[in-house]
Amino acid sequence: MKNITVKIINKSNNPLPTYATSGSSGLDLRAYIDAPIELQPMQRILVPTGLFFELPEGHEAQVRPRSGLAINQGITCLNTPGTIDSDYRGELKVILINLSTEKQTIKSGDRIAQIVVQQVAQVILYEAKEINETERGEGGFGHTGKN
C-alpha cells in the first residue's frame, strides 16, 4: 500500500476525517452545519463539511455513502460516487437524500459520508473504424442471468 500526503484546510469544529478501522478504505466525513437539518422523505440537500482539499495531480477523491446510515436511516448520497477532482479548491459538500418514509435529522458532527482517494489516469482517445471483438460482445444489463 502506497500512502500519499494530502493538504487539507478544516474550517469546521470537527476533527479531521479519519479511518474508522485499520482496514477502512474510506475516511469519514462529518456535517458542518449551523443547526440540525430535518430531512423529509425523498428530500435531497447539499450538506457542507467545512473541508477544503488539495489533492495531488493524478488523484481524485470519491464521495460515497456510509452503509450504516443507508440501512439504519435510509440516507444515502446522490451522484455516487461523487468525484472531487485534483484541481477543485472549493468546500467539499455532500448531496444527501432521505429514501426512508420518515423524517431524518442531520446534526453538525454527524458522519454523513466517506471519501476514498484514488490514483487516476487521463486517457488519450483516438478515433477508430472498428474495435476488437470479445466473447461478451454487446452483452450488458444482466445478460449473464440472475444467478
Predicted confidence (pLDDT) per residue in 60-107, tens digit: 999 999 999 999 999 999 999 999 999 999 999 999 999 999 999 999
Q: What percent of the chain is predicted at pLDDT more than 90?
A: 87
Please compute the mean of the pLDDT values over residues 26-46 and round it to a whole number.
97
Please compute the mean of the pLDDT values over residues 138-144 and round it to a whole number.
75
Any idea which of 87-101, 109-123, 124-138 has the lowest mean pLDDT? 124-138
Average predicted confidence (pLDDT) for the chain: 94
Q: Is the separation of the CB atoms in 6 and 116 below 8 Å?
A: no
Residue among 124, 136, 114 at smallest CA distance from 20 = 114
DSSP annotation of 19 reads: B
Domains of the chain: 7-119 (2.70.40.10)
Residue 33 has phi, psi (to 5 degrees) of -130, 155
Q: Which run of H or of E encompasses 145? A: none
pLDDT at 111: 97
Residue 50 carries which side chain, given as an amino acid letter?
Answer: G
Local confidence band at 143 (pLDDT 50, 70, 90 cut-offs): low
The shares of helix, strand and coil residues in the chain, as percent rounded to the nearest 5, are 5, 35, 60
Local confidence band at 141 (pLDDT 50, 70, 90 cut-offs): confident
Q: Where are the alpha helices (DSSP H) in the chain?
A: 67-73
Please compute the mean of the pLDDT values over residues 107-126 and round it to a whole number.
96
pLDDT over threshold 70, residue 48: yes
pTM of the model: 0.88
Torsion, Cα 134 135 139 141, to 10 degrees, reads -100
Is the alpha carbon torsion for 125, 130, 134, 136 positive or negative? positive
Which residue reads 472531487 in cell numbers? Answer: 84
Please compute the mean of the pLDDT values over residues 108-120 and round it to a whole number.
96
Q: What percent of the chain is predicted at pLDDT more than 70?
A: 98
First-residue to last-residue Cα distance in the chain? 34
